[in-house]
């Protein structure tokens, strides 16, 4: 696609990401979730329903999925190096996801992080929000798990 191409991944390289964005990265203010888990990782997420996301799993043994909070989304982590890649939600074979902006490489500059508090939303409100904001039709490549 036209637009902006971003790369990144975990520290050890087991999990890699390829992202296409329709707008410059600095126009995205990563959403800093205030739940205990995300705060402990210092994570903040960006996404674009009009963008594209591929997650390349080099070694499926290291794709960790951790559910917390309401448990309807899963945090994607590298179980080898411990990096939190992002968060994903699956519905009807469609995979939605948002990426922790800290895993993007190459000195990409994002907008100012903005605090969000999804824990105050109901499960239905969360799912509606994710479908509106997250990357859709995410490709998880090489995941045999």
* Residue choice 10, 43, 44, 85 for contact with Zn ion (CB under 5 A): 10
Segment 15-74, which members bind Zn ion (CB under 5 A)? none
Tell the smallest beta-carbon distance from residue 65 to Zn ion (Å): 14
Q: How far from 71 is each of 74, 112, 119, 130, CA to CA, in Å?
A: 7, 28, 11, 14
Sheet with strand 52-57: strands edge to edge = 4-9, 15-21, 52-57, 139-141
Taking CB under 5 A as the binding criterion, the range among 4-12, 33-41, 120-128, 131-139 that sits at the site for Zn ion is: 4-12
CA angle 71, 125, 55 (to 5 degrees): 55
**Of 21 and 78, which CB lies nearer to Zn ion in the complex structure?**
78
Binding pattern for the stretch 102-141 against Zn ion, x by CB under 5 A and - elsewhere: ----------------------------------------
**Of 78 and 138, which CB lies nearer to Zn ion in the complex structure?**
78
Alpha carbon distance, N-terminus to C-terminus of the chain: 29
Number of residues that bind Zn ion (CB under 5 A): 6
Q: CA-CA distance, 31 to 59, in Å (whole number)?
A: 28
Segment 68-107, which members bind Zn ion (CB under 5 A)? 78, 80-81
Structure token pair of residue 52:
């594209």
Helix (H), strand (E) at residue 8 = strand 4-9
Tell the smallest beta-carbon distance from residue 10 to Zn ion (Å): 3
Binding site for Zn ion (CB under 5 A): 10, 12, 14, 78, 80-81
């Amino acid at each position: 696609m036209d637009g902006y191409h971003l790369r990144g991944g975990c520290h050890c390289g087991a999990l890699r990401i390829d992202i296409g964005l329709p707008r410059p990265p600095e126009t995205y203010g990563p959403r800093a979730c205030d739940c205990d888990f995300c705060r402990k990782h210092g994570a903040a997420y960006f996404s674009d329903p009009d963008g594209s996301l591929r997650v390349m799993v080099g070694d499926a043994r290291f794709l960790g999925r951790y559910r917390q909070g309401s448990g309807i989304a899963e945090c994607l982590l590298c179980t080898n190096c411990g990096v939190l890649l992002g968060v994903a939600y699956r519905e009807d074979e469609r995979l939605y996801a948002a990426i922790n902006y800290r895993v993007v490489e190459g000195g990409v500059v994002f907008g100012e992080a903005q605090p969000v508090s999804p824990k105050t939303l109901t499960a239905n409100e969360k799912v509606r929000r994710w479908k509106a904001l997250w990357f859709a039709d995410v490709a998880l490549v090489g995941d045999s798990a």
